[in-house]
Every structure is written in structure tokens, then in C-alpha cells.
Copies of this chain bind each other. A is one copy, B any other.
């Protein structure tokens, strides 16, 4: 195993440059004997003489010259590594793997990606869209860095940063426009179309109706909010969607949206990451960007 140190290589480089122990030592901010010893040790660990000493001259041996070019190459990379670390200081760098649940992704990501590109131009963003349980699992395995999900996830090793609260709105056939918003109890009597099993949004909606354990009913479950809205437009029933989805999903369908009376149903969306992840500060910045992207998406 190589027994020399970076320090020794630096001293070597200085001596090769100055050709004089005294001057090289001064340039290296150590004493001349210290330099002598280090050079001698380096030569010993190499098993080769690097310098030819005479009373007035210190010269590289031919081997020393070949050695010097390699040493310079190494020191150059060492310095570059140092610079690299200094440049990355505190900033989020390299690959950033973000998970997002399906009932958020299509409405938030377009703006979020744009905003992240501006705020963190060096970021290599990877997006994973899947259901909360899988996101949590991938977080714990270190396969993604953070995830945007509905809080709480209540996983002890995950840290949760609340971002915003989003309300749910009722989506009903266009002919119902003008009618008052139904209350939870009334909603239970209507044909409520829901996302299929597994989506947290399904549970959140059912929860509002005080029917948390509703079983799947054939033909009344959709695999996306988009599908549900289309079904409502076709007169099959009513559904609930997050505010954020309104703009995109109800534009092309013959449906009417109405907010519920207080207390409005809704959920808290947040950013989660492993509590052990040292990049908390950077993630909070990311969370801030997500928050801005949401408010723009809802307002606009």
C-alpha cells in the first residue's frame, strides 16, 4: 500500500520547483530540516532517489522527473476535489429524486419543474410518481430523496414538512349548477365516484363522508381524477377533486364545481424525507419552491 501522504507530494512539488531545500521549505511554510526529512521519507517509501543533491544544486533525477509529472497530475485533482467541495457548499447538488403522489403530480409538476429549474439550475431532477405506501418504502430504502404526499405519513424515521392545505371541491353534472353544496350526510346518499383502492385521496374523501370503510363498488371507481370527472360529465354520479385539479380537469368536461360549506374537506400536502438525511436545509428550500408553485397553480 502506498505509504506516502499528500503533504509529502506537495513538498516534493515545491522542491522540484525551487531546486533548493531552504527555499522550498520556506515556500511550504516549514523548516528546512522538516523538508529534508519528508523528502527522504518519500524517497525511501518509493525505493528510488528523486533528487540529485550536490552542494549548489538540487536536481530531479530522470525518475524524479517522470514522478513529478504524475505527482502534479494527482495534486491537480486533489485541488479540484477541494474546489468541488467548496463550490457545492450547502447547495443541493447532483441527482435529486422526488416522489409525488398521482393526485398531485399532474397539476403541480409543470410549474414545479419550471421553478426548480430557475432556483436550482444545477439540479439533476428525477421524478417518481406512485402511491404513498410505495413512496414511503422507496424513501426508506434510499431510492428517492424526498416525496410530496398528503400528511401525516406517521413513519417515525421520516421528517414531515407541511406545505399547504388544499380543499376538495364537489364535481357534479353541469345541470346541477346553482344548487347548494351538499353536506357530508347528503353526500353519502349520492352516487360518489372515487379513485380505486390504494389512493390516499380515496380515503380522505370517504373520511369526509364519515364512511371510512366503504368497499369498492364495481364501475364507480376510477384510476385517475380525469376519468372520474369524465364519468361525472356523463351523468354517472358526482365526485370530489382537489382544488388544484379543477383548472385542468373540468375545462373540457360538462361539469359544475362547487366548494363545500365549512368545515370544508381537504388535506395537508407536505414534503417528507428521511430524518437522517443531512440535506434538511436544502429540502426546506425545495419545499418553499413547491409552496410557491402551488399557490401559483391555484391562483392561476
Contacts and interface: CB of A to CB of B under 8 A. Distances in A.
Given A47-B85, A82-B2, A62 B276 contact: no
B278 A49 contact: yes
Contact of A61 (B48, B80, B278): B278
A57 B142 contact: yes
Contact of A86 (B47, B54, B66, B96): B47
Contacts of A80: 70
A175 interface: no
A215 interface: no
A78 interface: yes
A94 B63 CA distance: 7
Interface string A30-74: 000000000000000011110011100101011101110011011
Q: Assembly of this chain: how many copies?
A: 2
A62 B278 contact: no
Interface residues of A, number: 50
B157 A54 contact: yes
A67 B84 contact: yes
Interface in A66-102: 66-67, 70-71, 73-74, 77-82, 84-86, 88-90, 92-96
B6 A79 contact: no
A274 interface: yes
A278 B52 contact: yes
A276 B48 contact: no
Contacts of A190: none
A77 B77 contact: yes
A210 interface: no
Given A66-B94, A88-B63, A2 B79 contact: yes
A268 interface: no
A56 B245 CA distance: 39
Contacts of A142: 52, 57, 59
B54 A92 contact: no
Nearest to A124: B62
A94 B62 contact: yes
A153 B79 CA distance: 48
Given A52-B274, A54-B157, A70-B77, A145 B5 contact: no
21 contacts: A2-B82, A5-B5, A46-B82, A47-B85, A48-B89, A52-B274, A54-B276, A57-B142, A57-B276, A59-B142, A62-B96, A62-B145, A66-B93, A66-B94, A67-B81, A67-B84, A73-B77, A74-B74, A74-B77, A74-B81, A77-B77
Which 3 residue pairs of A and B lie closest in terms of their CB atoms, listed nearest first? Answer: A54-B276, A49-B278, A62-B94
Given A49-B279, A62-B279, 8 more contacts: A2-B82, A4-B6, A48-B90, A52-B277, A63-B88, A65-B94, A66-B84, A70-B77
